[in-house]
């Protein structure tokens, strides 16, 4: 798979590393546009009336992702998370980058190609169905994506439904994703990230600045790709980075959806 034209490269071996976080997800699953979707509701009396669309990383509907969606719900958002891997996340094949026992014949490149093709076709239909089923005349939409989910955030921000978006440690992004933005984008980034390195991150910022886009870049020193979703919560600094990323995204959404 060629990566020459990418600013944020396709998911690599760094995406196979991570820590499973503790906690009990409280949401439920339902189908939206024939795709299984995790739904997390705000607590009674806490809803802000707005809806957050969640695009997962290659680990899909794993505990960390479900807990992050619950955290967004705690902030008042009705959260809808699409499982475009259809029950086939990468951890079913690789528990870590050196795992050759879980699925010895696993072809990571073929896996990415298959699920990217499905997601590219399914996500636009899913967004429209989510709006029709859960939207109200007063509700506004935001979107967030981690790694694999980043291009779907940018695509949504090039359309009319979402008022703001955010991603953390992105993958699969090309120049047009930044040039086509029509709504504000929050970028939560790791300093140690071969997928979205300093040169390409700066180029993305230049594109957004020259195009007059609304954006904010949050950059965390020393942490690596995956920190906002799969960081080590036993490490106080990594925990702080993960929680600060989450808070920054929530504040961003509160700002733009509150206007």
Angle at 256 between CA 251 and CA 257, to 5 degrees: 95
Orientation angle between helical segments 63-74 and 236-257, nearest 10 degrees: 50
Q: How big is the chain, counted in residues?
A: 259
Give the model confidence (pLDDT) of 26-73 as tens digits.
999 999 999 999 999 999 999 999 999 999 999 999 999 999 999 999
147 classed as catalytic? yes
193 classed as catalytic? yes
Q: Enumerate the domain spans of the chain.
A: 13-257
Q: Which of 177, 193, 197, 241 is catalytic?
A: 193
Instruction: Region of 38 please: left (phi>0), alpha (psi -120 to 50) or beta.
Output: beta
Model pTM? 0.94
- For the residues 117-125, what does the mean pLDDT come to? 98
Q: Which of 15, 147, 154, 241 is catalytic?
A: 147
225 classed as catalytic? yes
Closest CA relative to residue 219, chosen from 258, 187, 172: 187
Give the model confidence (pLDDT) of 214-257 as tens digits.
999 999 999 999 999 999 999 999 999 999 999 999 999 999 99
Sorted by sequence, the CB contacts under 8 Å of residue 18 that are 6+ apart come out as 59, 64, 226, 229, 230, 231
For the domain 13-257, what is the CATH code?
3.40.50.1820
């Amino acid at each position: 798979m060629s990566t020459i034209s990418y600013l944020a490269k396709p998911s690599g071996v760094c995406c196979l590393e991570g820590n499973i976080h503790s906690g009990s997800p409280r949401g439920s699953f339902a189908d939206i546009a024939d795709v299984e979707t995790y739904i997390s509701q705000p607590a009674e009396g806490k809803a802000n009336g707005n809806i957050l669309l969640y695009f997962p990383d290659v680990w899909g509907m794993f505990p960390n992702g479900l807990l992050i969606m619950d955290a967004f719900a705690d902030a008042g958002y009705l959260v809808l998370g699409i499982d475009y891997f259809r029950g086939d996340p990468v951890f079913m094949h690789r528990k870590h980058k050196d795992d050759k026992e879980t699925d010895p014949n696993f072809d990571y490149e073929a896996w990415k190609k298959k699920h990217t093709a499905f997601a590219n076709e399914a996500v636009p239909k899913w967004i429209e169905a989510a709006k029709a089923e859960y939207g109200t005349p007063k509700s506004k939409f935001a979107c967030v994506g981690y790694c694999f989910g980043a291009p779907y955030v940018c695509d949504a921000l090039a359309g009319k439904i979402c008022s703001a978006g955010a991603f953390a440690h992105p993958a699969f992004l090309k120049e047009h994703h930044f040039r086509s933005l029509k709504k504000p984008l929050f970028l939560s980034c790791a300093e140690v990230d071969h997928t979205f390195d300093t040169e390409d991150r700066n180029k993305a910022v230049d594109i957004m600045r020259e195009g007059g886009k609304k954006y904010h870049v949050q950059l965390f020193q020393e942490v690596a790709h995956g920190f906002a979703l799969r960081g080590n919560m036993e490490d106080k600094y990594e925990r702080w980075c993960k929680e600060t990323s989450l808070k920054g995204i929530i504040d961003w959404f509160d700002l733009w959806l509150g206007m």
